[in-house]
């Protein structure tokens, strides 16, 4: 007998995931969901996906299991310097334009990685900021948020497989990455000086309000909106823009846009890069 979720259990899981995270799971994603849940059912001491469905929906375990379910099915693809032209824009255009608004004031720059996953994007932002502003937590801060408690814990630990840092330019690797003393571990860790400028919190972009500051200079929200229905995309975009200071930048993934979001204060500066009117 094949090991599959019952149709009604998959339908309820799909509804729950979209309701709580905004991520759509059409029938074509069923095999992917089942594959990711198999590791979870072993952790629970179950043997079949059907048992998992019964446990959470008929067995009263849903409240305890929901966060683990979301963690399992959430895609957490991430890399250092992913879509590198965005970081070129940050260094070459955004930071100089933001500096011109400060008129010499020393207020710290504030960045937000709104779908941070295991932290590679947030630490990439921090590297670029440190190169431009100096490695000083009083000069800038980076907030990384994600719905998944599991990936936030990984981001806070800041330990990565050595192969993950290949996209980091060698001079930045020398300054901001430490290699494990035992080379057999094939791991690196972000240096403590950079980690001090970055903090991570759990945040669900589906929440009606975000418990974060409203004066960010740059918000990165890349490659997550594509998993949302259009109405959800537009609602999230409006909420994010409310947390930008005037003159601040919103950076989306290369397959995402503000089309249909009705954000009259935002102006496109480059592909998938938008600026709030100063």
Which of 12, 24, 30, 36 is the catalytic position?
A: 36
146 classed as catalytic: yes
Distance CA 276, CA 161 (A): 37
Non-local CB neighbours of 147 within 8 Å, separated by 6+ positions: 21, 70, 74, 202, 203, 204, 205
Distance CA 222, CA 124 (A): 14
36 classed as catalytic: yes
Tokens 């009604």, residue located:
8
Provide the H-helix boundaries in the chain.
Answer: 7-21, 30-43, 49-57, 62-73, 85-89, 95-102, 120-133, 149-157, 170-176, 192-195, 230-241
Distance CA 151, CA 116 (A): 8
DSSP-derived letter for residue 107 is P
Distance CA 15, CA 13 (A): 5
253 neighbors 222 (Cβ within 8 angstroms): yes
Helices 62-73 and 7-21, packing angle to 10 deg: 80
Distance CA 278, CA 262 (A): 18
What six digits make up the tokens of 215?
Answer: 């004066």
Residues in the chain: 278
Catalytic residue set: 36, 146
């Amino acid at each position: 007998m094949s090991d599959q979720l019952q149709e009604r259990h998959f339908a309820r899981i799909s509804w729950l995931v979209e309701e709580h995270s905004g991520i759509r799971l059409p029938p074509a994603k069923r095999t992917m969901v089942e594959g990711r849940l198999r590791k979870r059912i072993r952790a629970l001491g179950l043997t079949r996906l059907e048992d998992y469905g019964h446990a959470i929906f008929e067995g009263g375990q849903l409240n305890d299991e929901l966060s683990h379910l979301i963690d399992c099915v959430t895609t957490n693809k991430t890399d250092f310097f992913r879509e590198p032209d965005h970081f070129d824009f940050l260094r070459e255009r955004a930071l100089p334009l933001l500096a011109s608004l400060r008129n010499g004031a020393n207020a710290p720059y504030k960045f937000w990685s709104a779908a941070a996953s295991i932290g590679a994007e947030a630490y990439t932002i921090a590297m670029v900021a440190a190169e431009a502003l100096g490695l000083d937590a009083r000069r800038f801060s980076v907030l990384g948020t994600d719905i998944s408690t599991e990936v936030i814990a990984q981001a806070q630990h800041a330990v990565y497989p050595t192969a993950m840092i290949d996209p980091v330019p060698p001079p930045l690797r020398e300054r901001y990455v430490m290699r494990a003393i035992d080379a057999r571990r094939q791991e690196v860790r972000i240096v403590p000086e950079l980690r001090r400028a970055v903090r991570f919190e759990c945040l669900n972009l589906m929440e009606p309000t975000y418990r974060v500051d409203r004066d960010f200079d740059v918000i990165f929200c890349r490659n997550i909106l594509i998993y949302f229905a259009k109405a959800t995309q537009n609602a999230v975009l409006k909420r994010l823009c409310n947390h930008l200071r005037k003159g601040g930048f919103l950076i989306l993934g290369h397959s995402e846009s503000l089309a249909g979001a009705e954000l009259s204060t935002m102006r496109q500066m480059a592909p998938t890069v938008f600026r709030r009117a100063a």
